[in-house]
Structure 1
Amino acid sequence: MTTRRSALAAALAGVLTVTTLAACGADGAAAPGEQVKELRYQGWVGTVTPPELAEELGFFEDVKLKWIGNTISGPQDIQAATTGDIDFGGAFNGAIVKLKSSKAPITAVVGYYGADKDSYNGFFVLKGSPIKTAKDLIGKKIGVNTLGAHAEAVTKTYLTRAGLTPAEIKQVELIVVPPVNTEQSLRSGQIDVASLSGTLRDLALERGGVRPLYTDFELLGAFTGGSYVLRDDFIEKNPDTVRKFTTGVAKAIEWSKIQPREVVIAKFEEIIAKRARNEDNSQLKHWKSYGVTSKGGTIVDTDFSTWIEWLSGTGELKKGDLAAPDIYTNEYNGVASGAA
């Protein structure tokens, strides 16, 4: 755990070093007086993100997306946005709080995923596992997609509420496993607990032999868990583009809520086939929702204050150093304002 924390600290230090160099970058630069119309981003294997759906539905108007690769890490995604390697990135709101506290010049503009009764992050063990309580996790390995993000925050919340001491919590080991390999890692005994969400969770449940130990929805109720961020200088130079992007994402989220599931899934399958990235789309049949609780991903103070308080309680932030309104804006979200 000491090594893990050192690595995370080094990553954040790296962000501090390069944030002063953040700019649009050669690929995303626009001519003087013009706004950028092509946004570079990272995707997720076998997943259609709200921006990808928005583009397909024509909600971005003249703004286009440029895929530069995939990621399995929200913190990495928003760090890449901070350094200018991509134009927008999405992550767990607690990870955004951490990055913002390091003085990164970013602002969250729209929520894009969350937890509800249908879409949640569950932590699963094999049905025959002796692990039944939080205490049983001492000395065990939990497979997560990345460190310092959603799965880690939920796990530590679960352990803390169960009464484990800080020393005991340190003995619960978090192991980074690519999401597409997490279920198999659990079944083969490489890890003791698997963090699974979305369609990969439901695919594992369909196969059987696993049971949930805890979930973010059980612990925290329905909540918007992550947001898209852009660099402050990019927002300042490209306000119209940011408005089209943010409002387009908001419209796509609302579209996914009001359409029948089979219509949304069919659109996802169409998008994945069209982009031709050699992906397995078999898990799409299990899709239920993005889990965004607010209208069009509208951000509220509690989306960030919850994690500010939690990080302050653990000593990772100093109390009073950061407030929720410092992190986000709904100014560019036409669905939030009612303009769209």
Structure 2
Amino acid sequence: MPAALAPTSTSRRQFLTLLGISAAAVSCGTATATGGSGRTGSQVTTLKYQGAASSVTLPELAADLGHLGDLTLEWVGNTISGPQDIQSAATGQTHFGSAFNGAVIKLAAGKASIKAVISSYGVDRFSYGGYCVLEDSPIRTARDLIGKKVGMNTLGAHYQALLDIYLSRGGLSKADAGKVEPLVVPPVNTEQTLRQKQIDVGVLTGVLRDKALAAGGIRPLFSDFDLLGAFSAGTYVMTQRFIKENPDTVRTFTTGVAKAIEWSRTTPREEVIARMAEIIKKRGRNEDTSTLRYWRSYGVAETGGRIEDKEFQLWLDWLAERGEIKAGRLKASDLYTNEFNGYGKG
């Protein structure tokens, strides 16, 4: 069955408002991830997290490779939304979450006490978001999108930001760009929803993109790689309180994820895919592993997932230009730390 489409009243001026968490909401959130069981001495060693169906996250890969030392991961469910994932971390429901860096900025602007510790995903020639249309669609340029529906996994995150950049570079005024309608469609339903013409453009990524293109009848309009080239797009974040109280845990986690990033880069692709298939089968969640054959890369740009100012500054400038945040209120260097990433130090 096709996915039910989200309400259409969300305007472009409400970019990222799905992340509108007040400071009170954060401070009063469930604190289960900041204490309790799973401790060695005074530091937490069992990390709660959200995963993704039929795929392997970098922390899951790091754990299976033995790079997390005495840390264990406790899966609490799956998410398809970066903003929701980091909200769960900010409110103490999980210990870490991953999202688009623009969403991290918006959450920090809402006075959530969080900090990015390592890049979690990115864009390269293998790993990118393709904005796809039907083969016979008349849509060829940004201007052709006026009045059209664009399906993506969540609003107020990576793919809405890149859509806005595409429209701007295509010469659309803010008024015309506002006539392009972004809608939420779960990734697993995007291909079907596009083929049934319930949307005009669908964002397809990774294995879902390659599988859809291989089936025919769909062509790419543009991609985030076309627009910006290779870049790290998202990060894993933790609360500053958790980082302060658990520095050894954060160091082990971050360095372990960094090692997993480099292992995935330097290991033959077939071996990486086989390892991922084993991980998925061992966790026993009744998931399909057939799409793993399309996996190419996590897309993280920098060695060991180390974070650079430019990965936040681009979105700081863009959000300020849109009036979503006050210019100069946040500094890129205040949003992240590489202190705990021991990969390649020295």
Measured against the shorter chain, the TM-score band is: over 0.9
Query: In 1, distance between residues paired with 2:30 and 2:333?
Result: 24
1:285 is the counterpart of 2:293: yes
Q: Is the 8 A contact 2:148 2:200 kept in 1?
A: yes
User: Relative to structure 2, which stretch is displaced further, 25-34 or 256-265?
Assistant: 25-34
Give per-residue Cα distances to partners, 1:275-299, cap 9 Å, x unaligned: 1111111110010110011001000
Shift, 1:16, TM fit: 2.8
1:76-87 matched pairs, under 5 angstroms: 76-87=84-95
Matches within 5 A, 1:83-232: 83-232=91-240
Distance 2:74 2:34 in 1: 10
CA distance in 2, matches of 1:173, 1:83: 30
Distance 2:293 2:23 in 1: 41
Contact persistence 2:33–2:95 (CA under 8 A): no
TM-score normalised by L of structure 1: 0.95
Q: What SS does the corresponding residue of 2:88 show, helix, strand or coil?
A: helix
The structure in which a higher percent of residues are helix is: 1
Q: Distance in 2 between matches of 1:101 and 1:27?
A: 22
Which segments of structure 1 move beyond 2 Å, counting only runs of 4 or more?
1-17, 21-24, 26-33
CA distance in 2: counterparts of 1:332 and 1:123, whole angstroms = 36
Query: How much is the aligned-residue C-alpha RMSD, in angstroms?
Result: 1.8
Of 293, 296, 304, the residue aligned with 1:296 is 304
Structure 1 position 21 matched with structure 2 position 33: no
Counterpart Cα distance in 1 of 2:181 and 2:18: 19
- TM-score normalised by structure 2 residue count: 0.94
CA distance in 1, matches of 2:35, 2:309: 31
Matched, 1:58 2:66: yes
CA contact (8 A) 1:127 1:211 kept: yes
Contact 1:124 1:196 in 2 (8 A): yes
The CA deviation string for residues 202-259 of structure 1, in whole angstroms up to 9 with x for no partner, is 1111111111111000100100000000001000111000001101110000000000
CA contact (8 A) 1:28 1:87 kept: no
Q: State the SS of the aligned residue for 1:191.
A: coil
Name the aligned partner's letter for residue 243 of structure 2. Answer: I
Alignment check: 8 A CA contact 1:23 1:233 kept = no
Instruction: Give the letter for the 2:152 counterpart.
Output: V
In structure 2, runs of 5+ residues without a counterpart are 1-7
Residue 291 of structure 1 aligns to a residue whose secondary structure is coil
- Give % identity: 55
Map of 2:4 onto structure 1: none
Q: Quick one: distance in 2 between partners of 1:254 and 1:34? A: 30
One-letter amino acid of the counterpart of residue 71, structure 1: T
Q: Is the 8 A contact 1:28 1:38 kept in 2?
A: no
Count of aligned pairs between the two proteins: 338
Instruction: Give the equivalent residue in structure 2 for 1:272.
Output: 280
1:33 offset after TM fit, Å? 5.1
Unaligned 5+ segments in structure 1 are none
| Letter of the structure 1 residue corresponding to residue 127 of structure 2 | S
1:38 and 1:59, CA in 2 relative to 1: closer, same or farther beyond 3 A? Answer: same
Task: Give the 3-state SS of the residue equivalent to 2:264 in structure 1.
Answer: helix
Would the alpha carbon gap of residues 3 and 117 (structure 1) be closer, same or farther in structure 2, given more than 3 Å must change? closer
Given candidates 67, 76, 80, the residue that maps to 1:68 is 76
